Structure 1
Amino acid sequence: MNEIDALQLPGFATPVRRPRRLLTQNSRLKAIGVYNWTLPALRARLPDGQTITTCPAAGVCAAVCYARAGAYTWPSVRQRHLANLAYVVEDLTGWEQAMRAELRQPRFARDTWVRVHDSGDFWSDPYTEAWLAIMNASPHVQFYAYTKEVLRFKRIVEPARPPNFHWVYSLGGKEDTELNPAVDRVADVFPTEEAIHAAGWHSQKDDDRLAVLGPAPVGMSANNLKTQKRRQGNRTLGEWQASLRRRRSSVRWPLPAKDP
């Protein structure tokens, strides 16, 4: 049975391959029995020429994003992620219904965990609200996510949090200043596992779900990608974003001279 069916979507010149199974498992998450839903990282162009920014609050993280390298760049993987996004953009209601139906299948009957996005983020209000509806309709499933959409979550998600939804705010985004680590659960990417422990943070290395279930604040080590590791250096993404913000705030553009 094919995983993806071709489908002509409104506004698309050529058929887009729509996923038949929405939830998949990458190798790391499969090892702990977690399913995941994925979108293209940062932004993507759909077959009709429309460009969708899937990580609106991304900051310095975009320069070292693991989901823009390695296996994520393989044509078959990129096609799958693009199909996911096209489905959401062109038929959000149909996608929501399909996700609800899939989560009612026997393989998700109990003790199921779903990571929402191992790439991409909650990029719009309607998309976020659709996920909340899915979660409320699937109380037997535990959902979790890393997100940089701080303002959107504080406006939409926090006031109506489904009891089976767990998340952590990931530093390195444009909305870091909206976070209070004394109140908000936060995670940061460190250059090494040793750096996490030296800072007194708590690693999620043994199980990705520790990001939302274990002690906080949460640290994760940078992926072993040479270019990305060189760009990050010995700083965390949160430190890098804060440094960039300080540099930008220190710039004083000269005012134009007044006319005599």
Structure 2
Amino acid sequence: MKQIGVYNWTLPAWAGRLPDGRTYNTCPSAGICRQVCYARHGTYLWPAVRAKHHSNLQFVLDDPDGWQQAMLAELAAPKFVGRWIRVHDSGDFFSDDYTTRWLRIMRDRPEVNFYCYTKEIDRFRRLVEPDPPENLLWVYSYGGTQDHVIDPQTDRVADVFPDEEAIAAAGWSSQEASDLLAVLGPRLVGVPANRIPHFLRRLDGRRFSEWQAEVDAERHTRRGAAAVRAITSAPSARRRDRTDRRQAA
């Protein structure tokens, strides 16, 4: 990433446990993406890498003011002028306070460019979209529990596809040549799936948006069936049913 002038800030991906025993979830709106998350595979699992990600999160949680000042101090270095920071190579904007602090950092460092992928659509609608920093660009990504509030007609959106051929066939634009194309290229962003064999088997030729839609539909069906069972098994419902049968007799 540094070859194209991009630096990363990262957290541990999705849910886990810190060394002190605290649990966390840095991707509260993760959906099917967590089943094929590249940041829960390979080098991300190396002890040194994992320890660094945990350290970043602990700093944010334990001393948010200190973390914010440390970020401002680091980003004041000349090497960041005109460069790009990808916020969250893994992890996401997990709380309102954390998101608001990032917005302050961005406004206080206007000479640095920032971008991100996020599945925290509702949080961005409330906190970012009304008055975004001029040096922030973002793309909403499919595969989360808030997919249903993404508007592909107006939002900049990213979807993971099985391969480059599937991206082209859908008429979307790949960001494979440079990750910055996710925010600087055409609005419909195609991301080719990582070539991790067991991840590809789970993806099964689908886009993230398609897979998430299937899961959401199945969940909706189960909830509907559970609601019907709860109603029909309620004591009042059983009494009404017995009364109806007696009257019919």
- TM-score, normalising length: structure 1: 0.87
* Structure 1 counterpart of 2:204, one-letter code: G
Structure-2 separation of matches of 1:243 and 1:31:
38
Structure-2 separation of matches of 1:51 and 1:237:
27
Q: Which secondary structure does the structure 2 equivalent of 1:56 belong to?
A: coil
Structure-2 separation of matches of 1:145 and 1:216:
14
Structure-2 separation of matches of 1:45 and 1:134:
27
* Structure 2 counterpart of 1:52, one-letter code: Y
Which residue does the alignment assign to 2:83? 112
Following superposition, the deviation at residue 105 of structure 1 comes to 1.1
The number of residue pairs the alignment matches comes to: 231
Instruction: Find 1:174's aligned residue among 124, 137, 145.
Output: 145
Following superposition, the deviation at residue 43 of structure 1 comes to 1.6
Which residue does the alignment assign to 2:122? 151
Deviation string 1:20-39 (CA, Å, 9 cap, x unpaired) is xxxxxxxxx12212100000
Contact kept, 8 Å, 2:121 with 2:140, in 1: the verdict is yes
Which residue does the alignment assign to 2:13? 41
Structure-1 separation of matches of 2:143 and 2:134:
27
- TM-score, normalising length: structure 2: 0.90
Unaligned runs of 5+ in 1: 1-28
Which residue does the alignment assign to 1:218? 189
Instruction: Find 1:233's aligned residue among 204, 223, 230.
Output: 204
Q: Which secondary structure does the structure 1 equivalent of 2:129 belong to?
A: helix
Structure-2 separation of matches of 1:248 and 1:223:
27
Alignment of 1:249-260 (within 5 A): 249-251=220-222, 252-253=225-226, 254=229, 255=231, 256-257=233-234, 258-260=237-239
Which residue does the alignment assign to 2:164? 193
Q: Which secondary structure does the structure 1 equivalent of 2:130 belong to?
A: helix
Following superposition, the deviation at residue 156 of structure 1 comes to 0.7
Deviation string 1:187-215 (CA, Å, 9 cap, x unpaired) is 00001011100110000011101001101
Which residue does the alignment assign to 1:93? 65
Structure-1 separation of matches of 2:160 and 2:3:
22
Moved over 4 A (4+): none
Q: Which secondary structure does the structure 2 equivalent of 1:107 belong to?
A: helix
Deviation string 1:144-165 (CA, Å, 9 cap, x unpaired) is 0000000000011111200000
**Which structure has the larger Rg over C-alpha atoms?**
2
Contact kept, 8 Å, 2:31 with 2:144, in 1: the verdict is yes
Greater helix proportion: 2
Following superposition, the deviation at residue 45 of structure 1 comes to 1.5
Q: Aligned pair 1:61/2:33, yes or no? A: yes
Following superposition, the deviation at residue 249 of structure 1 comes to 1.7
Which residue does the alignment assign to 1:80? 52
Structure-1 separation of matches of 2:56 and 2:11:
6
Which residue does the alignment assign to 1:10? none
Structure-2 separation of matches of 1:106 and 1:44:
35
Following superposition, the deviation at residue 259 of structure 1 comes to 3.8
Q: Which secondary structure does the structure 1 equivalent of 2:115 belong to?
A: strand
Percent of residue pairs bearing the same amino acid type: 55
Which residue does the alignment assign to 2:243? none
How well do the aligned residues superpose, as a CA RMSD in angstroms? 1.0
Unaligned runs of 5+ in 2: 240-249
Q: Aligned pair 1:142/2:86, yes or no? A: no
Structure-1 separation of matches of 2:179 and 2:188:
14
Structure-2 separation of matches of 1:70 and 1:145:
22
Q: Aligned pair 1:132/2:78, yes or no? A: no
* Structure 2 counterpart of 1:186, one-letter code: V
Structure-2 separation of matches of 1:145 and 1:68:
19
Contact kept, 8 Å, 1:96 with 1:134, in 2: the verdict is yes
